[in-house]
Amino acid sequence: MIKRLSIDRLRDLATVAAMLAVVVAVFFFAQSRDTSFQLLTANGVSYPSATVTRVVSEDLTPEEGTGRYLGYQTLEVRIESGEFAGETVEAANSISADHNVLGRVGERVIIKAERQEGVTPYYSVFNYDRILPSAGILIAFAVCMVVVGGLKGARSMIGLAFALYMVVCFLLPAIFSGLPAIPMGLITMVVITVFSMLLLNGWSEKTYAAIASTVLGLLAAMAVYLAFSALLRVSGFNQGSAEELIIISRVTGLDVQQTLFVGVLVASLGAVMDMCMSIAASLFELREQDPGISRRQIMVSAFNVGRDMIGTMSQTLILAFTGSSLTSLLVLVAYGVEFTQLISSDYMAIELLHSFVGGIAVVLCVPIVAVICALVAVPQESAKPDGDGRASAA
């Protein structure tokens, strides 16, 4: 037992060391990309945090039925961050229905500072400063994960941080600088899958089976996406931000066409990993309880477990995308969009891809993980005597 614990600890250390090596390699990779991330940003414009020290003037009227105010303010603010930290300036604050940031003494805000050479500096209120509240939410989430999940929760937080780091520091710079989007997306998702599962579940046959199943599930998602995008005739050029991406592509070589697929891939990864690991864990537990279980029994059990999961998992994916699009759907309803117009729009085609490519990938994971777990959990079928005493395949 002590030897086993030592081996497991060494494997955990090896996993962490490999993750750190990847982090360092990604850092240097990101530094090597010499393309600016501020192609569409005006020179001399910054967004420092600031504190309101005085309301210089205001003209506000109550908004009927909401308890909010509309109007205009001139605020004196002290800049707290950036190049001009410590300076006190006056900032204009236009308060409307969709930009309702009410300035009060002591309120922390983000201001837009426009200080181009040869032009009088101009400051305006951009939004509330949400940095500290956002950090508080993240800390609360981490505490809940660790308190409830214990060591597993802490490992999950490390895995999540690693996944976000890979997306932000590797995937985005790679695609932005013109490297092919699909290979970069697949490499990122595979690296996240391998290290997340090794970190959470250790080095075991169950983990290896889940990793292989997830990778094949992602390849299935890619095949489904390519087929559906061809049928619907949509690509990254049909996205709402396509115009800006096209401008960027002229400078960096950004692969606009496949950015839609990468987004679908990232959105689907969590559900695919969850499905594969959940089924693999159940099947290997069955193998532990019944070492003589056959491949056929493993596969039948996989389909039984998978059928119970695919309904809720697919609904989770589809409802998540629907919920994120709720406001857009309300606007479409308000405009009286006809059914044929809605179904044939770029917006709906992209939402269908986001929702159903991930859903189909989750469903296809069931037979994939069933076959892989059957081969790994029962590496060689043994002959078992049947009722007549004759040998037969299990």
Domain boundaries, the chain: 45-129, 151-380
* CA 160 to each of CA 1, 119, 164, 196, 268: distance values in angstroms, whole numbers, following the listed order: 31, 45, 6, 8, 15
Find the angle CA(327)-CA(330)-CA(336) to the nearest 5 degrees. 150
Kindly compute the dihedral angle of the four CA atoms of residues 235, 227, 278, 137, in this order, to the nearest 10 degrees. 10
pLDDT category, 15, cuts 50, 70, 90? confident
Q: How far apart are CA 394 and CA 387, in angstroms?
A: 12
pLDDT higher at 106 or 10: 106
Which 8-state DSSP code applies to residue 80? -
Q: What is the pLDDT of residue 325?
A: 74
Q: How far apart are CA 272 and CA 265, in angstroms?
A: 10
For β-strands 69-79 and 49-62, DSSP reports them as antiparallel
Q: In terms of CATH architecture, what is 45-129?
A: Beta Barrel (2.40)
Contact, 111 vs 77, CB < 8 A? yes
In tens, the pLDDT along 216-245 reads 988 888 888 888 888 888 887 877 777 778
Provide long-range contacts, Cβ within 8 A and 24+ apart, for 17-22: 18/195, 19/158, 19/162, 19/195, 19/199, 22/166, 22/191, 22/195
Q: What is the pLDDT of residue 52?
A: 94
Question: Percent of the chain at pLDDT above 70?
Answer: 92
* CA 274 to each of CA 45, 143, 193, 266: distance values in angstroms, whole numbers, following the listed order: 43, 22, 11, 14
Q: What is the pLDDT of residue 384?
A: 45
pLDDT category, 321, cuts 50, 70, 90? confident
In tens, the pLDDT along 37-52 reads 555 566 778 899 999 9
Q: What is the pLDDT of residue 190?
A: 92
Contact, 276 vs 213, CB < 8 A? yes
Structure tokens at 181: 């989007």
Mean pLDDT, the chain, as a whole number?
83
pLDDT category, 130, cuts 50, 70, 90? very high
Instruction: Classify burial at 115, counting beta carbons within 10 Å of its beta carbon; exposed 0-12, middle 13-18, buried 19 or more.
Output: middle
